[in-house]
């Protein structure tokens, strides 16, 4: 009979519909092309770029796997300024102004300065005078400069490649599975660093984590065709100017490079009511950085998700809402802010940003007390001196606190380090450790340590601290309390 089961390859279809009933599809095992490295860095963002450069410079064969087509991460998508290389010297009388983060983070700024890609370190003044320094960046030059630095350091760069899984034996990661247009591949390594911000690699490797969902998601945009001086005069005239910083803009020193109005609530009565109500409702406002004439970066639009930002379906809804709200914000700016009459959206982040996704459990969890009491540890890998909520929270006497190596050791795994916004569960401690420059310092330490471990063939917990400290000091990391 024509319609026999043998005449049609119906069996396979039947099987897949059986598996559909369970809600799962069983994927067939497959041989994946294998690549071998000493150090594998997952995520080429703020911390990951620095980690990969540091590892490669120590002589480790290093792979950097980045989901997007460029490196830089939230630095180029969200903040657009690095915050803050210095201690809180203004908070306490008589405290000396000190640069407490140097190393590769400062090298990136030096390289950017050569090509007109940064404002340099601009002191923040104005009504909101707590903040020390704004180092705004040209986001496109940052992408180029860090890719060049990675290539010069001989890092194998795998952009447009997603870390999609991990293979573990006991407490050791053997390799990560990646997905790109070349299909799936297996990256074998001796030591791994999770710089994915969301902790994807740690989660795939079965590490403990929490999803606190305690920040809104956000997309930050750049507005072109803005008269910065006209906007500044308007804010001053209305007594609504918040923070202000001067630095290099389009090659000229002494230009406005950061400007903000006071926050939504305190500008009530100073700026038009419709503008104030509108930006408060849209989770937006006027805090901006710039490296170019006629251009404002960092106009944020926030949106609070009901669930953690690892929920793809809720994020998909938020991507649309935020983009609609960006254009509503633009309309408010054009209508109400002199200098912005003819503004247009010149750039947005390719996808929404967040201040934290998963927080990975490490051997040590930095607390707010550690930060504000200026605590140092016997395994400090960097020091930092800034808190996002200053002047409410300040590091004692304008000093520094230490980030210990044990805060980067992912609990229960012997060859995995974490660096960036994915460490530190305490909300207020995280308001310091997640700052860009702190993430970069963690990246330099994680990359250096991973390289030393892979070269010596030892676990991250067996690395003698003195070896790590010496290597960090030799590479210009500042470790004074
Ligand atoms: C809107 C906003 C404004 C901010 N403003 C400031 C500010 O003004 N000053 C300041 O100091 N800090 C600011 N922050 C905080 C700071 O920018 C971040 O905490 C910091 O940049 C995070 O660095 P990171 O390396 O942990 O993550 P990221 O820089 O986000 O890097 C993570 C990288 O991993 C990649 N990735 C993720 N998953 C995978 C995967 N599975 N496979 C491969 N690649 C993957 C991503 O594409 C990304 O490139 C802001 C944050 C936001 C969201």
Q: What is the pTM of this model?
A: 0.94
Residue 447 Cβ < 6 Å to ligand 1: no
The response to whether residue 285 sits with its C-beta less than 6 Å from ligand 1 reads no
Give the model's confidence band at 4: pLDDT under 50 very low, under 70 low, under 90 confident, else very high. Answer: very low
pLDDT of residue 327: 97
| pLDDT in the model for residue 367 | 98
Q: Closest Cα to atom 37, ligand 1: which residue?
A: 196
How many CB atoms within 10 Å of residue 96? 7
Strands 416-418, 191-194: pairing kind: parallel
pLDDT class for 131, splitting at 50, 70, 90? low
Residue 78 pLDDT greater than 60, yes or no: yes
List the single range of 14-23, 238-247, 256-265, 471-480 with lowest mean pLDDT.
14-23
Per-residue pLDDT averaged across 128-135, rounded?
74
pLDDT in tens, 378-428: 999 999 999 988 888 999 999 999 999 999 999 999 999 999 999 999 999
Residue nearest to atom 3 of ligand 1 (CA): 79
Give the model's pLDDT for residue 122: 93
What is the SS3 assignment for 213?
A: coil
User: Which residue's CA is minimally distant from atom 19 of ligand 1?
Assistant: 434
Crossing angle of the two packed helices 46-57 and 436-456, in degrees rounded to 10? 30
Residue 449: pLDDT over 50: yes
pLDDT classification of 64: cutoffs 50, 70, 90: very high
Measured CA to CA, the distance from residue 395 to residue 92 in angstroms comes to 10
Residues 6+ apart with CB under 8 A from 13: none
Q: Tell me the best of 131, 143, 196, 221 to mutate to test the pocket of ligand 1, counting ligand atoms within 8 Å of each CB and taking the most.
A: 196
Which element (helix H / strand E) includes 411?
none
CB distance 70 to ligand 1 below 6 Å = no
How many CB atoms neighbour CB 316 within 10 A?
A: 9
Our answer on whether the CB atom of 356 is closer than 6 Å to any ligand 1 atom is: no
CA-nearest of 313, 312, 310, 267 to 286 is: 267
Q: Exposed (0-12), middle (13-18) or buried (19+): which is 132, by Cβ within 10 Å?
A: buried
pLDDT at 51 over 50: yes
State in Å: Cα 361 to ligand 1 middle.
18
Query: What is the C-alpha to C-alpha distance for residues 278 and 286, in angstroms, rounded to an integer?
Result: 12
User: Coil, strand, or helix at residue 387?
Assistant: coil
Gyration radius (Cα) of the chain, Å: 24
**Ligand 1 pocket member 354 (CB < 6 A):** yes
Pocket test for ligand 1, best of 42, 46, 118, 242 (most atoms within 8 A of CB): 46
Sign of CA dihedral 318, 323, 328, 332: positive
For residue range 142-154, list pLDDT tens digits in order: 999 999 999 999 9
Q: What is the pLDDT of residue 3?
A: 36
Handedness of CA 211, 451, 63, 151 (dihedral sign): positive
> Going along 397-475, which residue ranges are E strands?
401-404, 416-418
Question: Ligand 1 pocket, 198 CB below 6 A?
Answer: yes
Indicate whether residue 68 lines ligand 1 (CB < 6 A).
Answer: yes
pLDDT for res 114: 97
* 3-state SS, residue 442: helix
Judge whether residue 132 has pLDDT over 80.
Answer: no
Q: Which of 77, 78, 119, 192 to mutate to test the pocket of ligand 1 (most atoms within 8 A of CB)?
A: 78
Q: Tens of pLDDT along 315-364?
A: 999 999 999 999 999 999 999 999 999 999 999 999 999 999 999 999 99
Q: What is the pLDDT of residue 7?
A: 40
Q: Which residues pair with 247 in a beta bridge?
A: 255
Output the average pLDDT for the chain: 92
Average pLDDT over residues 157-186: 98
How far is Cα of residue 397 from the mean position of the Cα atoms in its chain?
A: 28
Is the link from the previous residue into 84 a cis peptide, with omega within 30 of 0? yes
124 confidence band (pLDDT: 50, 70, 90)? confident
User: What is the full DSSP assignment across 18-58?
Assistant: HHHHHT--PPPP----EEE-SEEEE--SHHHHHHHHHHHHT
Does the C-beta of 66 come closer than 6 Å to ligand 1?
Answer: yes
Does residue 168 register a pLDDT over 60?
yes
Please give the pLDDT value at position 127. 62
Task: Identify the weakest region by mean pLDDT among 221-225, 284-288, 362-366, 437-441.
Answer: 284-288
Q: In whole angstroms, what is the distance from residue 106 CA to residue 92 CA?
A: 25
Contact 395, 87 (CB under 8 A): yes
Q: Are strands 287-289 and 252-261 parallel, antiparallel or unpaired?
A: antiparallel
């Amino acid at each position: 009979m024509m319609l026999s089961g043998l005449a049609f390859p119906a069996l396979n279809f039947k099987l897949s519909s059986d598996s559909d009933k369970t809600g799962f599809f069983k994927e067939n095992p497959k041989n994946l092309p294998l690549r071998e490295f000493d150090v594998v860095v997952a995520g080429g963002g703020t911390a990951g770029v620095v980690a990969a450069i540091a590892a490669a410079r120590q002589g480790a064969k290093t792979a950097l796997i980045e989901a997007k087509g460029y490196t830089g991460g939230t630095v180029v998508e969200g903040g657009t300024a690095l915050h803050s290389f210095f201690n809180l010297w203004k908070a306490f009388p008589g405290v000396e102004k000190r640069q407490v983060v140097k190393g590769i983070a400062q090298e990136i700024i030096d390289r950017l300065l050569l090509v007109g890609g940064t404002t340099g370190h601009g002191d923040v003044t104005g009504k909101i005078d707590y903040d020390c320094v704004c180092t705004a960046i040209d986001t496109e030059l940052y992408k180029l400069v860090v890719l060049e630095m990675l290539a010069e350091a001989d890092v194998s760069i795998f952009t447009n490649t997603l870390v999609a899984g991990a293979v573990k034996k006991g407490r050791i990661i053997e390799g990560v599975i990646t997905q790109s247009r070349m299909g799936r591949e297996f990256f074998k390594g001796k030591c791994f660093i999770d710089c994915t911000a969301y902790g994807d690699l740690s989660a795939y490797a079965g590490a403990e984590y929490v999803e606190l969902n305690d920040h809104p998601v956000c997309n930050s945009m750049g507005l072109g065709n803005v008269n910065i001086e006209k906007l500044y005069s308007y804010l001053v005239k209305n007594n609504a100017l918040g923070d202000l910083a001067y630095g290099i803009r389009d090659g000229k020193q002494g230009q406005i490079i950061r400007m903000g109005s006071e926050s939504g609530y305190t500008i009530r009565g100073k700026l038009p009511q419709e503008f104030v109500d509108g930006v408060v409702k849209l989770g937006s406002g006027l805090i901006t950085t710039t490296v170019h004439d006629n251009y404002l970066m960092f106009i944020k639009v926030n949106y609070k998700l009901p669930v953690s930002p690892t929920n793809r379906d809720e994020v998909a809804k938020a991507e649309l809402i935020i983009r609609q709200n960006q254009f509503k914000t633009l309309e408010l700016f054009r209508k109400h802010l002199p200098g912005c009459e003819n503004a247009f959206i010149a750039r947005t982040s390719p996808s929404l940003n967040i201040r934290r996704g998963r927080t990975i459990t490490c051997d040590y969890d930095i607390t707010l007390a550690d930060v504000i009491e200026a605590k140092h540890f016997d395994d400090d890998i960097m020091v930092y001196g800034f808190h996002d909520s200053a002047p409410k929270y300040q590091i004692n006497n304008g000093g520094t606190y230490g980030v210990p190596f044990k805060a980067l050791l992912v609990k229960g795994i012997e060859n995995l380090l974490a660096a960036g916004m994915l460490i530190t569960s305490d909300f207020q401690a995280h308001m310091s450790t997640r700052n860009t420059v702190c993430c970069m310092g963690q990246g330099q330490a994680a990359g250096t340590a991973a390289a030393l471990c892979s070269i010596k063939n030892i676990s991250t917990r067996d690395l003698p601290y003195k070896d790590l400290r010496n290597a960090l000091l030799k590479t210009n990391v500042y470790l004074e309390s």
